[in-house]
Amino acid sequence: MHGARQGGLEGTIFAETSLSDVDGENGQLIIAGHRVEALAGQQTFEGLCARLWALGEGQEVAPAPAVLGAARVRAFALLPAVEPALRRLDGDGMEALRAALAQLDANAADAALVTAATAVFAAAWVRLRAGQTPLAPDPLAGHAADYLRMAVGHATPAHGAALDAYLVTVSDHGLNASTFAARVVTSTGSDLVSAVVAGVAALKGPLHGGAPGPVLDMLDAIGTPAAAPAWLQAQLAAGRRIMGMGHRIYRVRDPRAFVLERALAQLEQTGARDERLALARAVERSAEALLAERHPDRPLRANVEFYTALLLEAVGLPRAAFSATFAVGRVAGWAAHVAEQRRTGRLIRPGSRYVGPAPSAEQAGSGVN
């Protein structure tokens, strides 16, 4: 088991799931029985939550989507108690979110509450960080639009719809690292809140959920399409990775990049935004070409986070909140996997191969164990 490409459990099938399927060779993603291309823009985030949670629970009938609005109100009522934990105002909000979600009562939290609380706490963090008072939820609004309004004070229908498409697109994605972490925690008999906190902790890392902010930093640093090849070349020569490129499973372009690019194009673009999209497309093409030269046998194409960065920027969210917004969508999948793991799984406990020092001869014969 030695070697640079070992230790990532790639190719290991550990669970059967009815929640999502990632076909990395053909670039196809199915979530709750629908191709992601057919889901985003057609199915609301709350509708998808209901479907995912019903599948996770093994139920046939999905509960009413309205539960999420009521749960946001419940989560907002917890804010005074949670606010000290949220006041980690530097960084990307993931530390604040992890600390705040850990305050939820494990005996009272259900899938709707943890999902609502992730949005309410993330939005409150954006407000607190800007020196503003958190805004109360509107239980009748769509989840995506309400999250956006609570975070930045306003949400046009077009921005709400684009963010809804984003949350749907990232809601679940097979056994990604954070979902696996949530399932491992659940497999010990632990609770939903602990599993969600583990999910946030895993999503915090730059190789999983932390790339969209750096993607925008990269676009800012590059500035114009003409500057892309030299900038990217220098980055690679310095041994650095291009953020938003490459994926553990996809060997073709991430299908979610198409969906988000389409959602972006549907937003009414100002001239400035068109320029941004043109820059991003030029950077993507250039990065793809350079990476193909360096790794002819390992396709490294744009992943979900490349266009996430542009979409979240276009709807007006600050880049510091991008990772937390990923959690706002992915928590739906974590909650469904927790239910599925409880129902069908058992304690997850893989083996390891010992390569440490051997005990001395006298210890070996001591009979102590």
Active site residues: 247, 305
CB of 91 to ligand COA, least distance (A): 18
CA distance 349 to 269: 50
Radius of gyration of the chain (CA): 21
136 phi, psi to nearest 5 deg: -75, 150
Strand partners of residue 31:
20, 34
Tokens of 54: 């019903």
CB of 34 to ligand COA, least distance (A): 21
The label of the residue with tokens 């949350």 reads 167
- 139 vs 205, beta carbon nearer ligand COA: 205
Residues that bind ligand COA (CB under 6 A): 5, 8, 207, 211, 241-248, 291, 295, 298, 300, 303-305
Tokens of 15: 């669970």
Residue from 69, 77, 79 nearest 143 by CA: 69
CB of 309 to ligand COA, least distance (A): 10
Could you count the other beta carbons within 10 Å of the beta carbon of residue 316? 15
- 165 vs 232, beta carbon nearer ligand COA: 232
CB of 316 to ligand COA, least distance (A): 23
What residue number has its CB nearest to ligand COA?
246
- 27 vs 244, beta carbon nearer ligand COA: 244
Could you count the other beta carbons within 10 Å of the beta carbon of residue 138? 14
From residue 243, how far is each of 8, 89, 217, 344 by CA, in Å?
Answer: 20, 24, 10, 36
CB of 268 to ligand COA, least distance (A): 28
- 274 vs 293, beta carbon nearer ligand COA: 293
- 277 vs 292, beta carbon nearer ligand COA: 292
CA distance 305 to 257: 8
Residue from 86, 80, 85, 20 nearest 329 by CA: 20
CB of 148 to ligand COA, least distance (A): 22
- 56 vs 244, beta carbon nearer ligand COA: 244
Could you count the other beta carbons within 10 Å of the beta carbon of residue 84? 11
